[in-house]
Amino acid sequence: MLGILLITGQLQAAPAPADASEEVVVWGDPFRRWDDTTWALEMDLALIDSMTIDVADNHTLRVQQFQLDAVIHCNKDVKLGPKTYEISCSLDEVGVQLGANQRASEREVDNLDGMAHVLDAWLTDKELQLQVGQRGTVASVDIDGLFTMNRTQNRTQEVLRLLLARVMSAFHVRWPDTLGPQLGREWIEYNSPLFAFPNFTGSAGSSITGHRIDALDDHWILQSVGRAAVAAQMRNPNVLPFDEGGEWLDIMATYDLDFGAVAIISPQTGYITERIWNVTGKPTPSSPDVLADHEYLFRGRLVLLDDGS
């Protein structure tokens, strides 16, 4: 369904009923999408800088590309306030593939598949803890059930949390008000978490995203396009010409990001049942790594599974 819709840099209007702007749909539970639902997730992620993963003694890998496939089952857990819930999502099935940094050793490359299997085992049957808002926001993501014995394992756990936070950010759409999705509406969202880099020190910047909801056949279609300017600290060898000794340098890289997404909203429930998204980024002309041929990619798909799927 979503494969036939294209994002071309601007919102494309679809035919809608003439009186759509006059109709207001009142939804019951704004947290209904988290109430005993199962989702399939797919994500491809290419970083501007590598992340170090340690899964066993003497097995360290600098990873720059990740692919994640997962099936999660979610339930409302604790009501934190009138507008906020804590959600628990079990990782029922997980598949991870890794791509090494271009400077990885031959031994590191040979260990890719083995490390991916270890990460699969670490994540399967674990719990994600989310904090979500009434207006469709996803504020935080944590992993419950991972226990670390030292700083090395703690670093790997944080890498996994950052990766899962990326894919769960695709659930985030800040509705313009508490009415939730309404046919024919257009609005602007600022600083969406979809633009955040998965980085140990975080990222800073600003973004703007335009949203529009139209009717197509028996569905409501949410189209989203956006842009961002993001800065993040990275540690990468030899990205500066005077780094002749091969030392690792702390630099502040700046990137321009472009975002496009299309989603299906159920007119019966009022929440997104499927979404595809694509975020791409290139260094700005003034970024220290502009000559290092680094590009950022974050794309994927989420879909609500029917009972028994």
Residue 4 lies in a domain: no
Inside any domain, residue 146: yes
Task: Using the structure block, give the residue that is written with the tokens 């790997």.
Answer: 156
User: Which residues are CB-contacts of 176 (< 8 A; sequence separation ≥ 6)?
Assistant: 185, 187
pLDDT in the model for residue 11: 53
- Residue 5 domain-assigned (yes or no): no
Q: If you average pLDDT over residues 171-189, what whole number do you get?
A: 92
Q: Which residue has the tokens 């949410």?
A: 222
Name the nearest CA neighbour of 48 among 161, 198, 192: 198
Q: Which is higher by pLDDT, 150 or 127? A: 127
Mean pLDDT check: name the lowest of 15-24, 58-67, 145-154, 253-262.
15-24
Asked if the model's pLDDT at residue 76 lies above 90, the reply is yes
pLDDT band with cut points at 50, 70 and 90 for residue 292: confident
Does 169 reside within a domain? yes
Distance, CA of 20 to CA of 45 (rounded, Å): 38
Distance CA 308, CA 253 (A): 46
Asked, for residue 275, whether it belongs to a domain, the answer is: yes
Are 221 and 11 contacting, i.e. CB atoms less than 8 angstroms apart?
no
User: Which among 198, 194, 188 is positioned nearest to 169, based on CA atoms?
Assistant: 194
**What is the sign of the dihedral through the CA atoms of 140, 143, 144 and 150?**
negative
Eight-class DSSP state of 184:
T
Number of domains making up the chain: 1
Residue 229: count other Cβ atoms within 10 Å of its Cβ: 16
**Tokens encoding 234:** 């990275």
d(CA 204, CA 122): 30
Please state, in angstroms and rounded to a whole number, the distance separating the CA atoms of residues 287 and 294: 11
User: Do β-strands 84-100 and 127-133 pair in parallel, antiparallel, or remain unpaired?
Assistant: antiparallel
Round to whole Å and give the CA distance between 265 and 190. 21
Question: What distance in Å separates the CA atoms of residue 201 and residue 208, rounded to the nearest whole number?
Answer: 22
Per-residue confidence (pLDDT) for residue 111, from 0 to 100: 77
pLDDT value for 296: 92
Whichever domain contains 175, its CATH number is 2.30.230
Q: Phi and psi of 30, rounded to 5°?
A: -65, -10
Q: Does residue 137 contact residue 174 with C-beta atoms inside 8 Å?
A: yes
Does 99 fall in a domain?
A: yes
Q: Domain of 206?
A: 33-305
Report how far residue 193's alpha carbon sits from residue 202's, in angstroms, rounded to the nearest whole number: 11
pLDDT top residue among 260 and 163: 260
The model's pTM: 0.85
Residue 87 CB partners (closer than 8 Å, separation 6+): 31, 34, 74, 75, 76, 77, 128, 129, 130, 131, 132
Provide the pLDDT for residue 306.
Answer: 79
pLDDT, tens digit, 9 for 90 and up, residues 9-54? 455 544 444 444 457 887 878 899 999 999 999 999 998 878 878 7
Phi-psi map region of 160: left, alpha, beta (phi>0 left; psi -120 to 50 alpha): alpha
- Residue 23 pLDDT: 77
The stretch 53-59 carries a mean pLDDT of 67
Q: To which residue do tokens 């007119």 refer?
A: 267
- 159 falls within a domain: yes
pLDDT above 70: residue 58: no
Alpha-carbon 262 to chain mean position:
14
In a domain, 25, yes or no: no
* Distance separating alpha carbons of residues 134 and 30, to the nearest angstrom: 6
